[in-house]
Amino acid sequence: MPNKRPSVVLRALELLCYLAGTVLAGFFVVQLAQGEVERQGGIAQFEQVAAKSATPDAADESVTDQNDLSALAEPDTTLWAPGRVADYHASLDAELPPVLGVLEIDSIGLKVPVYSTNTELVMDRGAGVIDGMAYPHEGGNIGISGHRDGYFRALKDIQVGDQVLLQTLEGEKRFRIDATQIVEISDISLLKDTRDQSVTLVTCYPFYFVGHAPQRFIVTASLDTTYVNHN
């Protein structure tokens, strides 16, 4: 009678190989599924952040939530021109671009939201980044403009050495006022980019001029190296 032991052993080995293959295939399928879940989760998270950055109200909430600010509270309009106060209230019904930061100068009682552009409508509501200049969360020269008869009228009392706090989507930055200058409208030399981090504030001048002001009031500030900036 022929010996059947080799045949039994062979079949057992085949069965073990089959089981091992099945286990490995199952493990591979599980890994693929897990990777797809993580990928979809990452995409969803990115889309959520992108949507917040692109939506004005959500961007406002982002600044407020991250930095515990009440940046969009009713401003102190004591120094404002009556027409500018009316423009401010009219702007409350308008859709504006994202808020990228909040500018604060405690020495003159200024606290203003900074939007991503500096249209007339934006400056009725707050201050805006000058086109072509750095955003608050970027390096270089951050240019911010505002109306002389609105938020930026407070700049008439600014002093060299005053501290500037700029809240951004990536944390806060602190600066010190280096100088103030009065220049002609055509003079844009102070708006050039800088290698070091700086802030340039721009408004029309004289502050109480009736009609279209002929000059610009410029405030320049450099990063406060005595303070450990978060960004």
pLDDT tens per residue across span 139-155: 999 999 999 999 999 99
Q: Hunting for tokens 């086109």 — which residue is that?
A: 131
- Please give the share of the chain, as a percent, with pLDDT higher than 70: 70
Give pLDDT tens digits for 49-86.
Answer: 334 544 444 444 444 444 433 345 678 899 999 999 99
Q: Tell me the three-class secondary structure of the chain, residue by residue.
A: CCCCHHHHHHHHHHHHHHHHHHHHHHHHHHHHHHHHHHHHHHHHHHHHHHHHHHCHHHHHHHHHHHHCCCCCCCCCCCCCCHHHHHHHHHHCCCCCCCEEEEEEEHHHCEEEEEECCCCHHHHHHCEEECCCCCCCCCCCEEEEECCCCCHHHHHHHCCCCCEEEEEECCEEEEEEEEEEEEEECCCCHHHCCCCCCEEEEEEEECCCCCCCCCEEEEEEEEECCCCCCCC
Percent of the chain surpassing pLDDT 90: 56
- Give the domain 69-223 fold: Sortase; Chain: A; (2.40.260)
Instruction: Give the pLDDT score at 25.
Output: 60
Specify the pTM.
Answer: 0.69
Return the domain boundaries, the chain: 1-54, 69-223
pLDDT tens digits, 98-122: 899 999 999 999 999 999 999 999 9
